[in-house]
Amino acid sequence: MVSKREEVRQFWDERARQYTTSSQSTLCEVPLRELEIGAILKYLQDGMKVLDVGCGNGYSTIKFWEHRRLDIIGMDFSPEMVKYAKENLKACDRRDPQRGKVGFIEGDVLQLPFPAARFDAVVTERCLQNLGSWEEQRQAILNTASVLKPRGFFLMAECSFTGLDRLARFLNLLGKKEPEGVVPWHNLFFCDALVLNDPLIRKVLIPVKVNNFASAYTLITRTLPASWHLLARYCPNIGGFGYNKLYVWRRRE
């Protein structure tokens, strides 16, 4: 019998074969993906050593590397995703001698293959929500903390049941239906209170901010006609209605 984790790996392998090097490989909403990348880039600085866990086909990893002078490693559970990440990397202009290093490996967030205090920042983008239980998600967060340097950033871009519930209540007030099919079969979204107040996590990580970077975008694209959608990513961000969030943590000293 195939385990749930193996089913998830197979799902992403197939997704990689379907989308190959496309920017839509792990998220079809390209404007939402760009908002996510922009929110993360605010915390990445030149000279950092960065780990991108659940990098998919490397689209975001390469964007980070192109915008900042980083030494960055992209790691993914799916060997097919890693294959296409390396293909994406081949197409990059790497002639700038001042630019940092970038590479891709296969790996598991529950068994990180790195020594303690290796990185200045670790990034996840909709990665930990692929784990099947809160216990596994918590372990993944603790594993991530272990490879961070003191005061290093953990930039956790994941989906939130808390935000989804708030959006549903707002849509109900407008007389609109709750969004359907938002949570895929292979995902477990986060409860904000659970993750932010977990005592084991708080021993090693300090919560800095929960950035609802997609709140305005989500409101517009879920409530207004399609003719407004192209403008959604450029509108000022307001409220806490987005279920795509960036949880910003720092490693305790």
* DSSP for 172-206, written as a single string: HHTTPPPP-S-S-TT--PBPHHHHHT-HHHHHHEE
pLDDT tens sequence across 224-249: 888 888 888 888 888 888 899 999 99
Domains of the chain: 4-251 (3.40.50.150)
Low-confidence ranges of the chain (pLDDT < 50): none
Q: What is the strand order of the sheet 244-251 is part of? A: 102-106, 71-76, 49-53, 119-125, 148-159, 244-251, 205-211
Residue 225's pLDDT is 87
The pLDDT score that the predictor gives to residue 37 is 98
Q: Residue 236 has what pLDDT?
A: 87
pLDDT at 181: 85
Residue 204 confidence (pLDDT): 98
Q: Which residue is associated with the tokens 């929960």?
A: 210
Per-residue b or e along 121-152, where b marks 16 or more CB atoms closer than 10 Å to that residue's CB: bbbbbbbbbbbeeeebbbbbbebbbebbbeeb
Tokens linked to 90? 């081949």
Residue 234 has a pLDDT of 87
Give me the pLDDT at residue 9, please: 97
